[in-house]
Amino acid sequence: MKFIDEYRDTNLAQKYSKRITQITTRDWNIMEICGGQTHSIVKYGIDKLLPSKITLIHGPGCPVCVTPIRLIDSALKIASLRDVIFCSFGDMLRVPGTDEDLLTVKAKGGDIRIVYSPLDGLRLAEENPNKQVVFFAVGFETTTPATAMAVYQAAQRAITNFSLLVSHVLVPPAIEAILGSPKCQVQGFLAAGHVCTVMGYEEYHPIAHKYGVPIVITGFEPIDVLQGIYLCLQQLESGQAHCENQYIRSVEQQGNSIAKQIIREVFEVVPRQWRGIGEINRSGLGLREKYASFDALERFAEELSSINSSYISSICISGEIMQGCKKPYHCSAFGKECTPERPLGAPMVSSEGACSAYYRYRSYQG
């Protein structure tokens, strides 16, 4: 298939593997920030093509995995209300809240719809004027422009029965939080190509300089990831640390100015809780005052006031996995008590979650 096969070329992968081995002189830890890249690495065995001196650390770049428990519980509460149509991407339905998940609420009669775009939610609001339609806005910078557009259009068209439960998070503050941790072992980053397609990569230059780590904007196909690792190693081995773009077929330094404009119009930067990690300053997006009437947390404040989030699995180590301190197979529940059918933690639910990727492609250790 054109534009896909060339990025899965076995001979080219072997060549990159050889080049990487030739230039690697010592141990290096490289983190791929995005769950899509983790999926690719585990699925295609990219880590197996690397010399043993290189350790790939899986980062927290799965938005489903980092959505805080209180927001999941808020989603469960809102979705179970009469006269509410609750819209969500499909991968949120199995994420465990304190007592249950959205799939269970749906089985009990909650009107939960899987949609492919927030604009589908807006259409449902127009078609059902007697219902409150709530869209669960989860995602990194990649999904934010469509969410912003839905709210913008709702405001323009005076659609008042539409609102958002917002859990949008931002990648650069997460990278800074990881690098600022005293436990940090990461020496180089593969940043997420799709995020930078929207936002560009100007923000990454000062981070690379401040912390002295190479950051390579990288795509998701096997050759992309191998080339990203190669570029990162070239910098590491020569003592350089700057931001570099591997994903040139999609990413430009400035990003997509129209997408950024609609994001800026609707959202402002706020602190955000990351499940398993904690609060990271300026790492999320919240609705601006001008669009506050579309905030489901405000609209359903009374119903949500009794929420008492307390889900803690005593064996789930997803926080340590998402910070790159442990691998899924270090969890005693991996593949036993915790499977994609019966997940104990979010990283086993999402296809971008590290636990799910290891379960699907490597149900053995490593």
Phi/psi for 188 (5° steps) reads -155, 155
Look-up of token digits 């775009």: 117
Considering the complex, what minimum distance in angstroms separates the CB of residue 323 from ligand SF4? Answer: 12
Q: Give the nearer residue to ligand SF4 in terms of CB position, either 95 or 133.
A: 95
Q: Give the nearer residue to ligand SF4 in terms of CB position, either 152 or 311.
A: 311
Find the binder of ligand SF4 among 184, 259, 344, 357 (CB under 6 A): 344
Find the binder of ligand SF4 among 57, 174, 321, 322 (CB under 6 A): 321
Taking the alpha carbons of 137, 130, 94, 345 in that order, is the dihedral positive or negative? positive
Chain length of the chain:
366
Considering the complex, what minimum distance in angstroms separates the CB of residue 364 from ligand SF4? Answer: 14
* Residue 268 · residue 295 · CB < 8 Å: no
Residue closest to ligand SF4 (Cβ): 345
Considering the complex, what minimum distance in angstroms separates the CB of residue 200 from ligand SF4? Answer: 33
Q: What is the C-alpha separation between 115 and 118, in angstroms, rounded?
A: 7
Quote the DSSP letter at residue 142: T
Which residues are CB-contacts of 11 (< 8 A; sequence separation ≥ 6)? none
Q: Give the nearer residue to ligand SF4 in terms of CB position, either 266 or 331.
A: 331
CA–centroid distance for 251 within its chain: 18
Q: Give the nearer residue to ligand SF4 in terms of CB position, either 170 or 317.
A: 317
Number of shown-chain residues binding ligand SF4 (CB under 6 A)? 17
Binding mask 324-343 for ligand SF4 (x = CB under 6 A): ----x--x-xx---x----x
Q: Give the nearer residue to ligand SF4 in terms of CB position, either 95 or 226.
A: 95
Q: What is the C-alpha separation between 139 and 186, in angstroms, rounded?
A: 24
| Interactions with ligand SF4, residue window 291-320 (CB under 6 A) | 313, 315-318
Q: Tell whether residue 276 is a contact of ligand SF4 (CB under 6 A).
A: no
Considering the complex, what minimum distance in angstroms separates the CB of residue 63 from ligand SF4? Answer: 15
Q: Give the nearer residue to ligand SF4 in terms of CB position, either 172 or 328.
A: 328
Q: How far are the Cα atoms of 149, 212, 215, 244, 288 from residue 253, in angstroms, in the given order? A: 23, 20, 13, 10, 26
Q: Hey, what's the torsion of the CAs at 366, 36, 20, 250, to 10 degrees?
A: 180
Taking the alpha carbons of 23, 29, 34, 35 in that order, is the dihedral positive or negative? positive
Considering the complex, what minimum distance in angstroms separates the CB of residue 356 from ligand SF4? Answer: 8
Q: How far are the Cα atoms of 66, 331, 344 from residue 314, in angstroms, in the given order? A: 18, 11, 10
Q: Tell whether residue 348 is a contact of ligand SF4 (CB under 6 A).
A: yes
Q: Give the nearer residue to ligand SF4 in terms of CB position, either 282 or 330.
A: 330
Which residues are CB-contacts of 62 (< 8 A; sequence separation ≥ 6)? 34, 35, 38, 322, 346, 347, 350, 352, 353, 354
Considering the complex, what minimum distance in angstroms separates the CB of residue 49 from ligand SF4? Answer: 25
Number of neighbours of residue 314 by Cβ within 10 angstroms:
6
Considering the complex, what minimum distance in angstroms separates the CB of residue 310 from ligand SF4? Answer: 17
* Residue 147 · residue 99 · CB < 8 Å: no
Find the binder of ligand SF4 among 176, 345, 352, 357 (CB under 6 A): 345
Quote the DSSP letter at residue 294: G
Q: Tell whether residue 355 is a contact of ligand SF4 (CB under 6 A).
A: yes
Q: Give the nearer residue to ligand SF4 in terms of CB position, either 87 or 95.
A: 95
Q: Give the nearer residue to ligand SF4 in terms of CB position, either 60 or 345.
A: 345
Considering the complex, what minimum distance in angstroms separates the CB of residue 17 from ligand SF4? Answer: 29
Q: Which two tokens stand for residue 23?
A: 């230039």
Considering the complex, what minimum distance in angstroms separates the CB of residue 95 from ligand SF4? Answer: 10
Q: Give the nearer residue to ligand SF4 in terms of CB position, either 66 or 146.
A: 66
Q: What is the contact surface with ligand SF4 in residues (CB under 6 A)?
A: 313, 315-318, 321, 328, 331, 333-334, 338, 343-345, 347-348, 355
